[in-house]
Structure 1
């Protein structure tokens, strides 16, 4: 597994690591077949696939079960979105490694409220200790929700604290304007991960300013479920199948 962990770590840089996010074994296999060199999970997508809401609906057991199936379905490195650790960071990281993943996303908010950065620092230290105990050089992607929640002034201060605690990458969802992203790249002590979607800069533009990692969060999941709903509605109302044309 450390070969996979090493490969995931080495993929961060230039060109940036581009991570389509999977939510189950089938989506992971499709993403690998499309040419992905690594796969990230999306907690929102995993929650929706389990039939629960993203906001607090997913628990450790369900998240790990989905992760285990994803890791078994692909040969590329997998990094797991574990939200804030489900109240048991050490246990979650141990289970993540046992499932076959070699990276984690660990966020600094709980119930959509920003936590004190020192709380997140302790999570990162705990995650690192659990990974070391398991013998894996885990890639820790420290997510800060400062931009998502409109508190942008503390992003770099948090990044420094998280770097000192042992994080490998800084994940800042909610920022899509290129000048701000370029500024974050220059100021962050860690390689930068951004989340993209329609209207965001292209991969080439993000690479040009030095972004090391690009993911899409639940965007692919959302699009897949939107297609399922619209195709089903068409079938059940007009009795036609135009939405299934590929």
Structure 2
């Protein structure tokens, strides 16, 4: 688990975000240094909506699948809001994620109070010990909390609360302005994680600003859903085979990714 923490100490960790064991195997094969999941992608792949709706047992199974597919790479699980407002009820499945091999989790404040998320973080830390990398997601930008000019200060305030509770990283999805990013890096001692988002500077610029982690979130998965929808509509309309193979990975190539899992 220290290997995952070390990836946040310098440079920029880029995570494409998997949604099942197969996508994790693909991302490992393409050179990912660690594997993180996307809660939206996991939920959609299982036929559930995103937003703390997925049964926690399914999250635990996905963790097991992704850890197997990662073949020793660090794995971080998107734990949404912990699937409960009771910190003790959040800590118990978090401990099971660690037992299944997770090196990190994301847990978000969403529409709840920073104090509630801090209580969840503290309960998780007490249950699992010091090794798990807890990435606290602050939804100030995603939810449009306050006026734009106040959001860095508010996110820094929340980050301090989460750090005191035991968080290791701060995730601020929706933050895209370079000046605000620089201010946010300066305002928090925690490694800053950003989400791929329209208008976000490129990786080299983010690295220069001091950002330590860049996540695709549901971006790769959403793109595939869009492609699958277009192909399905076309096939239902005309039954043509050619579009189905344009840009596709061959059966043998995909199958080899799966059969090389441990």
TM-score of the two chains, using structure 2 as the length reference: 0.86
Specify the SS of the correspondent of 2:77. Answer: strand
Residue in structure 2 matching 1:140, options 131, 134, 144: 134
Listed as ranges, the matches of 1:165-244 within 5 Å are 165-240=165-240, 241-242=242-243, 244=245
Asked whether 1:30 is paired with 2:26, we answer: yes
The separation in 1 between residues aligned to 2:121 and 2:70, in whole angstroms, is 27
User: Which residue of structure 2 aligns with residue 84 of structure 1?
Assistant: 81
Point out 4+ residue stretches in structure 1 off by more than 4 angstroms: none
2:122 aligned residue: 125
Match of 2:109 in 1: 108
CA distance in 2, matches of 1:150, 1:121: 21
Partner residue in 2 for 1:43: 39
Check conservation: 2:14, 2:215, Cα contact below 8 A. Answer: yes
- How far apart, CA to CA, are the structure 2 residues paired with 1:77 and 1:157? 29
Q: State the 1:15 CA deviation.
A: 1.6
User: 1: distance between equivalents of 2:22 and 2:132?
Assistant: 25
Instruction: Give the stretch that moved more between structures: 226-235 or 37-46.
Output: 226-235
CA distance in 2, matches of 1:189, 1:59: 34
Task: State how far apart, in whole Å, the 1-side matches of 2:245 and 2:125 are.
Answer: 45
Offset, 1:239? 2.8
* Structure 2, unpaired ranges of 5+: 146-150, 248-262
Larger C-alpha radius of gyration, 1 or 2?
2
More displaced stretch, 182-191 vs 235-244: 235-244
When structure 1 is superposed on structure 2, of 211-220 and 115-124 the one drifting more is 115-124
In structure 1, the gaps of 5 or more residues are none
Distance in 2 separating the partners of 1:149 and 1:198: 16
Give the alignment's Cα RMSD to 1 decimal: 1.4
2:151 aligned with 1:150, yes or no?
no
Task: Quote how far apart the aligned CAs of 1:243 are.
Answer: 5.7
Moved more, 75-84 or 233-242: 233-242
Q: Name the SS for the 2:217 alignment partner.
A: coil
Once the two structures are TM-superposed, the CA of residue 183 in structure 1 deviates from its matched residue by 1.1
C-alpha contact 1:13 1:211 (8 A) present in aligned 2? no
Query: Aligned partners of 1:8 and 1:33: how far apart in 2?
Result: 18
